[in-house]
Amino acid sequence: MKKILFFFIFHFSFLSRRSNILLAFLCVGGLIFHSSIANAIEVEGHLTEDTTWSPDNNPYHVIDDVFVDDNVTLTILPGTEVKFHSTSLTCYDDFSNFVYYNGTNIAKMLWVDGKIKAEGTEEDPITFTRAQDSLYYHWGVIYLTEFADRCVFKYCNFEYSARMLILVGILPVGAISIFNEETIIENCNFIDNFCGVFMQFYPQKVIITNNLFFNIENIHSSLVGYADGGIKIGAGVSVQLNPILIAGNIFNQPFIPDFDLSVFSAPVYVVDNQFIDDGGLMSACNACMDANAASYFYRNDFIGFHYYGIRGGRPTDSLYIRKNNFIGGSDGINIDDAYVEISDNYFEGCDLYSGIHNTGKAYNNISNNGNFRLPGYLEVCNNISFNGNYVGVEVSWRNISCQNNLTINNDYAIGSGGTVTYNNCVFIENEEINYFPISGNPIFRNCILDFELPPECIDGGGNIWVDSLQAQTLFEDIQNGDFHLIEGSLAIDAGFDTLGYYYPFDMDYNHRVWDGDNNGTAIIDIGPYEYNSPAFGGIQGYTYNPTTEEPVDYVLLKINNQPGEFTFSDSIGNFEYKLPAGIYDVYAERVFYEDVIEYQVEVFDGEFTQIAISMTEIVDVEDYEIIPLVNDFNLNNYPNPFNPTTTISFNLTAEDAKNAKIIIYNIKGQKVMTFDTFPSGSCRIGTSEYSVVWNGKDSNNKSVSSGIYFYKISAGKSSAMKKMLLLK
């Protein structure tokens, strides 16, 4: 638990610093962006040819709607300020100033049938804001129509947008309203908008990464709680097949009671986001799922919400929820009527609820001062519920089995209303047994208990009864939530169904069945951890773009193409996944990149096999000229794999050899060694073939570890790169 507490202290500290920076920016922005615009460049009407807006002409005052016509590109350069004529939105049903009808709308907008490229920089962002410096004044939207080409927004600030009624059924409500097929939104700030990003009619390829969604002054004093949050993906007319990537964002919308992220009928990959309640009137730090295809929630933080972290579910949904943190609120997860896999999540002060219609799995979850309510057809294994204010594990109404769960110091040990079988579970120090009269005949088999079974329950054999003193001798630190078994624990090798056990791993992803008492027979332990068992190995690696040599972030990686066996690379391309020994195929996919398969990756116990996955970008042919590789320098190395030395060979002209470099990188992209001189002895007489020998050491003459390395040659304006494997 100490690691978890430190994690959240760090995150709150980080968020506090970022919020202070944002507030400082806004204060300065009030002086710059809301000053007189008497000298502004006034813009309106149709752009019929490619146009560039530059900071040299700041600010641009949108006095009437601006239209980017079909086959026209509007390029906005770093540092440009765009100010829209604005008006007040006084009540939720007030559309009078926000209806497009032959230009009668008072609040103005940017309508894009062609393409917009608004790419600022961290030092010089592009700003879209209101022209009038009046509280609760708002402009319309940036409306990307279904005819628009790929649009890009990077390092932009969006302030005080509202909405625009175009036609019945077409109501863009986001500062960026996406109705087209391809859009990229990265490193932007969305401040005090009715909605940050709105999508409808199922955009084919969209990424929304590393943005900040923040509310300070609200939409209007009479509209507290009526905005649509950070991102809203509305219902459409067809099935969205391509997932929408929403990653690395911070959502802090304290005035909005519904959802910071609302999704209807679209698969999404929601990765590494932070949903934070900053103490506003009502919490919105939530995400709503209602999707037709597989969606993933991975490594997100839901902190301080009052209602739900993740809510939704339909019969056609497949939801995979892993490694998220839920702190505070009512239900961290509330899903019904879907296939769900809920694993490796941490809950504190909130519940996990998986409804009676759900199917799927719940394993390796930890709840501190919360409840696991899992009455559906779920496999419930390796979960810990302690210090709860209600029921430890509720699995009522369905005939299922619960394996190796732990329920300790809760108001109630179980919530069982059906013929449920508890195998290898621990129930101690709970106030009561069941929170309503027991129906059916629950079976307890090879469990550790500190209460006598009621008459309605069946003793399946192998159970161990302990008193309060014995309970203290089972685990490493029962008071502080460390439930690893200690030497001599009664739970060691005391479980049931060793050979037929479904999950091969314990809560640490160590081998599940191990001979803990060294009597020559391997038997499963009672509880979520296996005593003294060895660790799995796994796959560790890096996703990168071979053209730019930059990491590719947030890549979905599936083992043997199984949706539930997955991980994502992080913001710098690194990933890790634990697996039993064996041979696996790794499938990699990301929006705007070609799918990749790494075949026959072998994993050994206790070791991580290193792989580097090259992701080829699908470029916008209108923006990029594809230049064929004309010189690969005949770059190669032998042997490969190698230990401890390998010879890197390449061809150079005499002129290129004067300035050429060979650089070696590790799998994280860190420079290991550089060769920048090639003595004459390395050149074969009469040829242009050169070579250098790498001895497996870095520039400090220290031996490097086993794994994948890249070697790159640069000569003039050309370069080439390949990979090699060091095996010790």
The token pair that represents 278 in the structure block = 């900053």
CB-based burial of residue 44 (10 Å sphere; 0-12 exposed, 13-18 middle, 19+ buried)?
middle
* Predicted pLDDT of residue 391: 55
* Predicted pLDDT of residue 473: 94
Q: Taking 50 as the threshold, does the pLDDT of residue 625 lie above it? A: no
Determine, yes or no, domain membership for 561.
yes
* Predicted pLDDT of residue 11: 37
Q: Taking 80 as the threshold, does the pLDDT of residue 314 lie above it? A: no
| Residue 408 φ/ψ, nearest 5 degrees | -140, 135
Higher per-residue confidence, 37 vs 676: 676
Same structural domain, 453 and 376: yes
Q: Taking 90 as the threshold, does the pLDDT of residue 605 lie above it? A: yes
536 within 8 A of 510, measured Cβ to Cβ: yes
Instruction: Quote the distance between the C-alpha of residue 528 and its chain's center.
Output: 26
Higher per-residue confidence, 655 vs 158: 158
- Residue range 368-400, pLDDT digits in tens: 988 888 877 888 999 999 887 665 566 655 657
What's the rounded Cα separation, in Å, for the pair 587 and 568? 11
Q: Taking 60 as the threshold, does the pLDDT of residue 111 lie above it? A: yes
The fraction of the chain above a pLDDT of 70, given in percent, is 80
- Residue range 349-375, pLDDT digits in tens: 888 888 778 889 999 999 998 888 887
Q: Within a 10 A sphere around the Cβ of 685, how many other Cβ atoms? A: 5
- For residue 701, what is the domain's CATH number? 2.60.40.4070
| Residue 112 φ/ψ, nearest 5 degrees | -120, 110
Q: Taking 90 as the threshold, does the pLDDT of residue 694 lie above it? A: yes
Q: How many residues does the chain have?
A: 728
Higher per-residue confidence, 290 vs 348: 348
Average pLDDT on 210-219 reads 81
What's the rounded Cα separation, in Å, for the pair 372 and 376? 12
Same structural domain, 553 and 489: no
SS3 29: helix
Range of lowest pLDDT (221-235, 323-337, 552-566, 606-620): 221-235
What's the rounded Cα separation, in Å, for the pair 712 and 612? 15
What is the four-CA torsion angle of 46, 47, 48, 52, rounded to 10 degrees? 170
Q: Taking 50 as the threshold, does the pLDDT of residue 627 lie above it? A: no
The token pair that represents 390 in the structure block = 């209600």
Same structural domain, 527 and 545: no
* Predicted pLDDT of residue 401: 73
Higher per-residue confidence, 87 vs 258: 87
Is the backbone of residue 560 left (phi > 0), alpha (psi -120 to 50) or beta?
A: left
Distances from the Cα of 530 to the Cαs of 215, 375, 424, 509, 512, in angstroms? 47, 27, 11, 10, 6
* Predicted pLDDT of residue 255: 44
What's the rounded Cα separation, in Å, for the pair 350 and 341? 18
Determine, yes or no, domain membership for 66.
no
In this prediction, residue 121 has a pLDDT band, given cuts at 50, 70 and 90, of very high
Range of lowest pLDDT (118-127, 176-185, 408-417): 408-417
- Residue range 464-473, pLDDT digits in tens: 999 989 999 9
* Predicted pLDDT of residue 16: 39
Determine, yes or no, domain membership for 363.
yes
Nearest Cα neighbor of 110 from 79, 148, 78 is 148
Please name the amino acid found at residue 126: I
Range of lowest pLDDT (167-176, 421-430, 532-541, 584-593): 167-176
* Predicted pLDDT of residue 549: 83
| Domain final residue pick, 513, 534, 555 | 534
354 within 8 A of 475, measured Cβ to Cβ: no
Range of lowest pLDDT (141-155, 414-428, 548-562): 414-428
Determine, yes or no, domain membership for 156.
no
Q: Taking 80 as the threshold, does the pLDDT of residue 7 lie above it? A: no
Same structural domain, 415 and 548: no
Q: Which of 40-54, 254-268, 639-653 shows the highest mean pLDDT? A: 40-54
What's the rounded Cα separation, in Å, for the pair 76 and 52? 6
Distances from the Cα of 132 to the Cαs of 45, 83, 135, 136, 160, in angstroms? 20, 9, 9, 10, 11
Same structural domain, 608 and 718: no
Helices (H) and strands (E) in the chain, counts: 3, 69
* Predicted pLDDT of residue 67: 96
The fraction of the chain above a pLDDT of 90, given in percent, is 48
What's the rounded Cα separation, in Å, for the pair 285 and 230? 10
SS3 percent helix, strand, coil of the chain, rounded to 5, is: 5, 40, 50
What's the rounded Cα separation, in Å, for the pair 569 and 296? 13
Higher per-residue confidence, 2 vs 603: 603
What's the rounded Cα separation, in Å, for the pair 599 and 584? 7
Determine, yes or no, domain membership for 53.
no
* Predicted pLDDT of residue 92: 57
Please report where in the chains the tokens 């309970």 appear, as a residue: 471
Instruction: Quote the distance between the C-alpha of residue 44 and its chain's center.
Output: 40
For the chain, the average pLDDT equals 82
* Predicted pLDDT of residue 32: 33
Please name the amino acid found at residue 675: F
Range of lowest pLDDT (286-290, 297-301, 567-571): 286-290
In this prediction, residue 8 has a pLDDT band, given cuts at 50, 70 and 90, of very low
What's the rounded Cα separation, in Å, for the pair 73 and 66? 13
Same structural domain, 412 and 518: yes
| Residue 405 φ/ψ, nearest 5 degrees | -95, 160
Same structural domain, 375 and 506: yes
DSSP 232-289: EE---SS---SPEEEES-EEE-TT-SS-SEEESS--EEEES-EEE--S-SS----EEE
How much is the pTM? Answer: 0.82
The token pair that represents 299 in the structure block = 């490594």
The partner residues of 54 in beta bridges, in order of sequence, read: none
Higher per-residue confidence, 104 vs 279: 104
- For residue 609, what is the domain's CATH number? 2.60.40.1120
DSSP 80-137: -EEEE--EE--STT--TTSB-STT--SS--EEESSEEEEE--SSS-EEEEESS--TTE
* Predicted pLDDT of residue 280: 25
Nearest Cα neighbor of 341 from 369, 360, 364, 314 is 360
Count: domains in the chain: 4
What's the rounded Cα separation, in Å, for the pair 296 and 610? 25
What's the rounded Cα separation, in Å, for the pair 289 and 117? 30
Distances from the Cα of 136 to the Cαs of 223, 232, 532, 627, in angstroms? 10, 21, 62, 50
* Predicted pLDDT of residue 433: 79
In this prediction, residue 574 has a pLDDT band, given cuts at 50, 70 and 90, of very high
Nearest Cα neighbor of 361 from 399, 320, 391, 398 is 320
What's the rounded Cα separation, in Å, for the pair 17 and 20? 5
Q: Taking 90 as the threshold, does the pLDDT of residue 156 lie above it? A: yes
Domain containing 700 equals 636-726
What's the rounded Cα separation, in Å, for the pair 528 and 532? 13
In this prediction, residue 131 has a pLDDT band, given cuts at 50, 70 and 90, of very high
Determine, yes or no, domain membership for 223.
no
Same structural domain, 582 and 673: no
Same structural domain, 576 and 642: no
Nearest Cα neighbor of 248 from 187, 289, 315 is 187
- Residue range 507-527, pLDDT digits in tens: 999 999 999 889 999 999 999
Please report where in the chains the tokens 């295809």 appear, as a residue: 293
| Domain final residue pick, 477, 507, 534 | 534
| Domain final residue pick, 614, 648, 676 | 614
What's the rounded Cα separation, in Å, for the pair 290 and 338? 9
Same structural domain, 530 and 542: no
Q: Taking 70 as the threshold, does the pLDDT of residue 348 lie above it? A: yes
166 within 8 A of 133, measured Cβ to Cβ: no
What's the rounded Cα separation, in Å, for the pair 85 and 89? 13
Same structural domain, 521 and 589: no
Higher per-residue confidence, 18 vs 695: 695
Same structural domain, 486 and 389: yes
Average pLDDT on 146-160 reads 95
Determine, yes or no, domain membership for 202.
no
Determine, yes or no, domain membership for 148.
no
